[in-house]
Structure 1
């Protein structure tokens, strides 16, 4: 008997309670499974709220019709003065921008959603972007008027700024770099005058802040590439507005031209100063100023011109 009990305990036979090791493992596993099922049933018996995304019924067509009658109809409810104040530009320039964006980018064309309902129109999207640039504030502040939600408004702003930069960004001149270590009286005088113009640049940035409230606000909520697009768009739009509303601000004739032609090839004698007017001239000037040799020649010509106007002494 003693040898039989010893062999049974070592070979998986019945223990003192009459159960084998395998039967004991199965019983424990069954108890665990039963406990798990009880917890699952208890959890299922407790009702839990189902969180669904709230649907806001927006009437895009009615919002477009209201916007059209307010600002874009032949006899709008709000006249040209209010349009310029609220859009920061005159209606023809705004429609020119809308048309350019619509022709190039599918985003600015009217599309249908998954339910077959028409989406926002091009002027709705561009208006949402312009109003955000002009007034700042929360991105859904025009939802009640334009029926554009927060996420759609943000997308309109980013697509608008990137599109304006891509389409119109090659039409504006660049700054001539300063001289870090000027040698000689001419370059020293030029560097002094150019450093003084930094105040003008600061004033220009203040002008941007007055026209576009978004420039005054914090930028930490935006990604760096988006900040670049927004700033470029504000600068480009400002230049377009200046050119559109005041031809005398961007084009004037030099009164003390000596007849000496410049050496950099960007302009010729007796030229109209300011922003180049023709498309070909703008593209040529833009390309020329970004070539290192042409930039150096342009800088040398400006130094000579500034020195000559000083009196050449």
Structure 2
């Protein structure tokens, strides 16, 4: 009996071993051995970053630079003192741009190298690795420089150079508008599309209009000196100007009672609502003055010519913005819409900084002209007007009705036609 039991145990053990061997064979057959992939280590490239900084300094920033100030202006899109002011503020305000030493005591990239890389990418619309040979920055480093640079520009300069018009700004804009024949005009408004090359496939239908390519819309208000006073970026490209206007915060300050009150006289009639010059797609509100589609008579034709000439300010601003910073002219290569928005916002801030820096070189009008001559002095900003009006539904609805008043629009347009004829009709005959 005991021998039988021992034989049975041996058989069970043998059967288990055989089963395990069969399972192993089957597993190896269904899961063939794959040797581990070789570890590919990142190749270190000694770029000699110190030599890159020295070359950049000798080319543009030394006491006797290789290239002239005019060549600096063309390649950096701004004058040298303004660029150095931006670099100093960025270096002090953004930790990423401060030059540090590594574990071996070797100095890292300088703020000049990083800011120059960012400016070159914005100015020429380069890919991130295009500045490697000259500035000695890797592709990933150039990409980080651009993103940190635009964030620094927004945080350090956005409040000043993308502000709402102050009462002093409004008074200057009103004076210029009156001098040009449009009392009460504070700029022109229009939209621009920025093509989005790497738009996610799921969003392409939303951001594409007709059979075109995906794009993102920028709504802007610009004055005659090309300063951009309002920038609303982000609506999908499938929207037209009216749909963008419905989402835009351009009239939020007026509706909430925070905007200064103005008054001006046109053709002997007093008005209290400033306006923008627009093209024909915008609605006939008291805050918009469009050109006449089919002008009849010499007065209407003369008004149409002057309106279209002044309305080109915002289109000129778009053209100069794209010429200065090709990154907003070429298709956007980023996947993240938030990063694209920061680049557009920083480009507008830098554009306004350049406009302010070079304004003395392009004096369109002598300030003395605003105090002499026909019709001067009728446009004023009410500095005593309090902007601390309680924001409630009743007040907002009343102001909204004033903004959307079509009868006031028609009356203002008729007075402007007569005013333009009285001011410029003699020279047109």
TM over 0.5: yes
2:91 and 2:97 in contact (8 A); partners too: yes
Aligned length: 271
Equivalent of 1:153, from 137, 142, 153? Answer: 142
TM-score, normalised relative to structure 1: 0.69
Whether 1:88 aligns to 2:80 is no
2:100 and 2:107 in contact (8 A); partners too: yes
Alpha-carbon distance change, 78 to 248 in structure 1, aligned in 2, over 3 angstroms:
closer
Question: Which stretch has the larger CA shift, 85-94 or 107-116?
Answer: 107-116
SS at match of 2:73: helix
Displacement of 1:188 after TM fit? Answer: 7.9
2:49 and 2:136 in contact (8 A); partners too: yes
Equivalent of 1:26, from 2, 7, 17? Answer: 17
TM-score, normalised relative to structure 2: 0.52
Report 1 or 2 for greater relative contact order, CA contacts < 8 Å, sequence distance ≥ 6.
2
What is the match of residue 14 of structure 1? 8
Whether 1:311 aligns to 2:419 is yes
Question: Which stretch has the larger CA shift, 75-84 or 25-34?
Answer: 25-34
Residue correspondence of structure 1 range 1-313 to structure 2 within 5 A? 14=8, 19-20=11-12, 22-29=13-20, 49-170=38-159, 171-172=161-162, 173=165, 174-175=229-230, 182=284, 187=286, 190-192=289-291, 196=308, 199-247=312-360, 249=362, 253=367, 254=370, 258-260=376-378, 262-265=380-383, 311=419
Displacement of 1:74 after TM fit? Answer: 0.8
Displacement of 1:105 after TM fit? Answer: 0.8
2:113 and 2:135 in contact (8 A); partners too: yes
Displacement of 1:27 after TM fit? Answer: 3.7
Displacement of 1:114 after TM fit? Answer: 4.5
Question: Which stretch has the larger CA shift, 133-142 or 95-104?
Answer: 133-142
**1:105-151 deviation digits (Å, cap 9, x = unpaired):** 11111023344432110000000011111112221111111110000
Unaligned runs of 5+ in 1: 1-7, 268-283, 285-291
Displacement of 1:48 after TM fit? Answer: 6.0
Larger Rg: 1
Counterpart CA distance in 2 for 1:297 and 1:147 is 58
Unaligned runs of 5+ in 2: 166-228, 231-249, 252-275, 292-303, 388-395, 406-410, 423-429
Alpha-carbon distance change, 250 to 238 in structure 1, aligned in 2, over 3 angstroms:
farther
2:78 and 2:354 in contact (8 A); partners too: yes
